[in-house]
Amino acid sequence: MRTQRQTLAETKAAYNHPTYAKMAFTMGCGVQGRGEGCHVYDETGRPFLALFDQYGNQSFGYSHERLVRALRDRLDTANLNSTKILFEEVQIRLSERLAQLTDGHLRYSYLANGGGESIDNALKLARAATGRPYFVTAADCFHGKTIATLSASRRPEHEAVYRPLMSEFRQVPFGDVAAIEAAVDEHTAAVLLEPVQAEGGVIVPSEEYLREVRRICTERGALLILDEMQTAFGRCGTFFAHQQFGVLPDLVCIGKAFGGGLLPISAVLGTAEVWTSLKRTPSTFGSSLGGNPLSCSVGLAAVELASEPEFLARVNARAEQIRQRLTRLPARFPELVRAHRGLGMMHGLEFHDEALGGLVLRLLIRHQVTSTYSLYNNSVLRVQPPMVIDEAGLDHGLDVLEQVLAEVEAHQRAGGATGVAAMSPQRLSVRLPFPADAVRELLGRRPRLLDPFSLHPEQEDCPPVEPEFAGTLGEDLVVWEDRYEAGPDGPSLSAGDCWMWTSLRRDFTVVPLGEAGCRVDIAVEWDAGTGGYEALLAGGISWFITTRAEQLAGEIDKYLAE
């Protein structure tokens, strides 16, 4: 009998995103239920505290009262749809309010849906305003997943799949002023940057960097575009992160928190000088549902909430709380944590490799705390909780994080495989104070007795093929087809190619040790079919194999006494 979460994972793998289905399932994620404040509940009613705000989308937590009220109030009016003909008051009022955020410097705005759409709009405006074709971006940037924004990031893995990407993007190292100096020339329309690189690993530039980029752009007639999708709405301590660095960009793109986690809405904000092209050729911009009354009502409420001095004061208090707690972790756990970086309530812990980061993520979920990794640096754990989290809730989340790090450190020091050593294949041995012949005979009758993946290891007389094998990854029942082969020194077990495993093989070899008894060598080799994310999953899988095998070895004596 498949669980609800397996049924949904299999369906997602079959019809939507196979890799993400496997990753979430292997990490132990359940089925999402209601969300309140900084907690979301699974199908069993267990609350999970968010140490990550879903890339900025849940910056105000789940179901924020003011944002939900704005949504309900708008629904009650029946004025929900965009005619694109009549004047739409809430859209116009929102545009006016956005201009006020920069005291009229970025006077104009254009509303859209997703972030990539608004980045594309910013690129169009920059080309039209300058008459130039090229853009300069930073290595490890993230600006979206359209063809233009993937071209801006110039990831080799994207280039291999979607080639040719657009060739008009030149990349330089983030934070390197000399590289910007060398790259920006008379052909550069704009420099496109994040004030803090989120998916690159939470990289905070020096205080001078953005000011120097601004100077270079001004001197050479290029525009400065700042992507504040993840950094705006107070995340870094001021409404816009660029206010922390004392710069005025020509264009700013916002989204994610803009919709309060409820509805899609994004915008590009720009100066009057940049906006002249939209006046000349208005038909080059359009968004069928962009700026609709429903989204704008929530967006206006989000702007008001994030603009309040009391809200920003609480953000800065929580930011200092995070900074004080995380700053000490590299010194406390030097074998695990390489570095800590952050600004405001946007922080990252960099581990020595991505398998360590993946193990920490899986153990956090076991302790009912959620977080994630940086997309382009999987070794970095994100600590970016909803900005509405209170002091006690944040302390609890950070306490759990430190508890998990202590667990991983103890496991590592006890000889358990972590980091790159946790990659497939895994080999471990268990010593048993029993004669080898007796253990071989027992494993012949009960081949799954030392199988970490068997939910019922005591099973007798396994068939060669078990279509509905009752497996486990430590959380609950998992069903897949499994096969059994008897061998002279022990059994071999393997999963059939299925939604979850490309391959999974477990070999057990009983080795005589004379009067000392015997040793069982266990070799586990797997491929979850997740490509570049195998290392991220390996830490948790290896932890599970080791701890489960040790548990089963400690129970084998009761079967030998039969």
Q: What is the pLDDT of residues 67-118, one digit of tens each?
A: 999 999 999 999 999 998 999 999 999 999 999 999 999 999 999 999 999 9
Q: How many residues does the chain have?
A: 562
Nearest Cα neighbor of 230 from 323, 330, 348 is 348
The contacts of residue 70 (CB under 8 Å, 6+ apart) are: 260, 297, 298, 300, 301
pLDDT of res. 1: 78
Nearest Cα neighbor of 547 from 353, 362, 302 is 362
Residue 405 near residue 336, CB atoms below 8 Å: yes
Radius of gyration (C-alpha) of the chain in whole angstroms: 27
**What's the mean pLDDT in 182-189?**
98
Residue 224 near residue 212, CB atoms below 8 Å: no
Whether residue 357 is predicted with pLDDT greater than 90 in this model: the reply is yes
Whether residue 34 is predicted with pLDDT greater than 70 in this model: the reply is yes
Q: Taking CA 523 as the corner, what is the angle to CA 520 and CA 527, rounded to the nearest 5 degrees?
A: 160
Please state, as a whole number, how many other Cβ atoms lie within 10 Å of the Cβ of residue 349: 27
* Residue matched to tokens 């280039």: 159
To 10 degrees, what angle do helices 293-307 and 65-77 make? 150
**What's the mean pLDDT in 167-181?**
97
pLDDT of res. 558: 87
Please state, as a whole number, how many other Cβ atoms lie within 10 Å of the Cβ of residue 541: 27
Provide the b/e sequence for 116-126 (b: ≥16 CB within 10 Å).
bbbbbbbbbbb
Provide, rounded to the nearest whole percent, the portion of the chain with pLDDT above 90. 91
What span, in angstroms and rounded, lies between the C-alpha atoms of 21 and 332?
A: 35
pTM: 0.94
pLDDT of res. 280: 84
Please state, as a whole number, how many other Cβ atoms lie within 10 Å of the Cβ of residue 288: 9
**What's the mean pLDDT in 483-499?**
94
pLDDT of res. 487: 94
DSSP 280-291: H-GGG---SSTT
Helix, strand or coil, per DSSP, at residue 437: helix
Q: Taking CA 357 as the corner, what is the angle to CA 63 and CA 405, rounded to the nearest 5 degrees?
A: 90
pLDDT of res. 277: 84
Nearest Cα neighbor of 311 from 388, 393, 228, 230 is 388
Q: Is the peptide bond preceding residue 173 cis, with omega within 30 degrees of 0?
A: no
Which H, E and C letters describe 154-196, residue by residue? CCHHHHHHHCCCCCCEEEECCCCHHHHHHHCCCCEEEEEECCC
Whether residue 214 is predicted with pLDDT greater than 90 in this model: the reply is yes
Whole-number average pLDDT of the chain = 95
Q: What is the pLDDT of residues 313-347, one digit of tens each?
A: 999 999 999 999 999 999 999 999 999 999 999 99
* Residue matched to tokens 């739409």: 88
Nearest Cα neighbor of 204 from 236, 177, 238 is 236
Q: What is the pLDDT of residues 519-540, one digit of tens each?
A: 999 999 999 999 989 999 999 9
Specify the amino acid at residue 339: A
Give the chain's domains with CATH numbers.
35-62+311-415 (3.90.1150.10), 65-307 (3.40.640.10), 426-561 (3.30.530.20)
**CA 247 to chain centroid:** 29
Q: What is the pLDDT of residues 359-418, one digit of tens each?
A: 999 999 999 999 999 999 999 999 999 999 999 999 999 999 999 999 999 988 887 666
Specify the amino acid at residue 341: R
150's tokens: 């993937």
What span, in angstroms and rounded, lies between the C-alpha atoms of 74 and 557?
A: 67
Residue 133 near residue 276, CB atoms below 8 Å: no
pLDDT band with cut points at 50, 70 and 90 for residue 560: confident
What span, in angstroms and rounded, lies between the C-alpha atoms of 52 and 509?
A: 44
Dihedrals φ, ψ of 318, to 5°? Answer: -70, -35
Provide the b/e sequence for 499-529 (b: ≥16 CB within 10 Å).
bbbeebbbbbbbeeeeeeebbbebebebebb
pLDDT of res. 305: 98
What span, in angstroms and rounded, lies between the C-alpha atoms of 155 and 241?
A: 25
Alpha-carbon torsion (371, 377, 379, 384), positive or negative: negative
Residue 161 near residue 208, CB atoms below 8 Å: no
Specify the amino acid at residue 532: G
Dihedrals φ, ψ of 131, to 5°? Answer: 70, 20
pLDDT of res. 452: 96
pLDDT of res. 334: 96
Whether residue 420 is predicted with pLDDT greater than 90 in this model: the reply is no
Q: What is the pLDDT of residues 241-287, one digit of tens each?
A: 999 999 999 999 999 999 999 999 999 999 999 999 888 888 888 88
Sort 85 into a burial class: Cβ within 10 Å, 0-12 / 13-18 / 19+.
exposed
Residue 336 near residue 342, CB atoms below 8 Å: no
Q: Is the peptide bond preceding residue 425 cis, with omega within 30 degrees of 0?
A: yes
What span, in angstroms and rounded, lies between the C-alpha atoms of 208 and 9?
A: 47
pLDDT band with cut points at 50, 70 and 90 for residue 419: low
**What's the mean pLDDT in 123-141?**
97
DSSP element (H, E) containing 395: helix 391-413
